[in-house]
């Protein structure tokens, strides 16, 4: 589905996992993206976010893990956030509990060539033969450009048929926006290795929801 619906509240591992993955972590990613290459303490970011969504009574409720270990609900949420960050390599680890945003040579080149402050466009396209009906996930390429979208897509290779542009979103700070969208979809297990880079099994509705969420943040 394009939007992850929250389950009814309950003191359970299932609820703690949902809260960690679909509520707390997207907000952590957004806040961390504003820190650039500066290290940050994961705990310092996620604790206020958990405070915002769980009451004192809810935080202290006891949940039981499959291994029989009992812990408070907020502790379980914190544990799940930390585990997902580690398993998905969401950030680069600096030391225990301390992280920074990942960067590589390609991103450094992009930052040097194109200012992060540039306005531009996030675009999404796919190929007619793999597009599915509305509401169903299918492979979508999500990219960014400060130029004409048609020209940018035309510069790309590995096209086995003419692509169909599905949507365009005018945004500020295109690089940061693209990185945040990719990270959120990646930890939702939506990233795919083919047909090429920056492809995700998603929908236009889900991408729009993520962009709206980031803008509000």
- The DSSP H or E segment spanning 128 is none
Contact 190, 26 (CB under 8 A): no
Q: What does the pLDDT read at residue 1?
A: 34
Does the structure show a pLDDT above 90 at 148? no
Contact 211, 9 (CB under 8 A): no
Q: What is the mean pLDDT of residues 99-103?
A: 84
Structural domain boundaries in the chain = 13-102, 107-216
**Beta strand pairing call for 40-41 and 98-100:** antiparallel
Q: How confident is the model at residue 109 (pLDDT cuts 50, 70, 90)?
A: low
Q: What does the pLDDT read at residue 2?
A: 39
Q: What does the pLDDT read at residue 63?
A: 92
CB atoms within 10 A of CB 205: 14
Least confident among 62-66, 96-100, 128-132 = 62-66
Q: What is the mean pLDDT of residues 5-23?
A: 86
140 forms beta bridges with 200
Could you tell me how far CA 163 lies from the centroid of its own chain? 25
Fold of 13-102: Arc Repressor Mutant, subunit A (1.10.10)
Contact 174, 214 (CB under 8 A): no
45: nearest Cα among 32, 58, 34, 26: 32
Peptide bond into 168 cis (omega under 30): no
Does the structure show a pLDDT above 50 at 80? yes
């Amino acid at each position: 589905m394009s939007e992850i619906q929250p389950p009814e509240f309950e003191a359970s591992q299932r609820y703690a996992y949902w809260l960690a993955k679909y509520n707390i972590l997207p907000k952590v990613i957004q806040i961390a993206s504003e820190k650039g290459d500066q290290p940050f303490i994961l705990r310092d970011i996620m604790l206020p976010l958990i405070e915002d969504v769980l009451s004192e009574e809810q935080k202290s409720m006891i949940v039981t893990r499959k291994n029989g270990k009992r812990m408070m609900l907020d502790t379980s949420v914190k544990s799940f956030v930390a585990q997902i960050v580690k398993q998905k390599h969401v950030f680069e680890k600096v030391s225990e509990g301390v992280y920074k945003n990942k960067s590589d040579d390609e991103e450094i080149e992009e930052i040097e060539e194109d200012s992060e402050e540039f306005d531009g466009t996030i675009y999404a396209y796919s190929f007619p033969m793999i597009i599915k009906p509305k509401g169903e996930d299918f492979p979508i390429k999500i990219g960014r450009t400060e130029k004409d979208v048609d020209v940018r897509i035309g510069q790309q290779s590995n096209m086995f048929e003419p692509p169909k542009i599905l949507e365009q979103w005018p945004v500020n700070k295109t690089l940061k926006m693209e990185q945040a969208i990719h990270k959120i979809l990646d930890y939702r297990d939506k990233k795919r290795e083919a047909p090429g880079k920056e492809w995700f099994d998603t929908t236009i509705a889900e991408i729009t929801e993520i962009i709206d969420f980031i803008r509000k943040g």
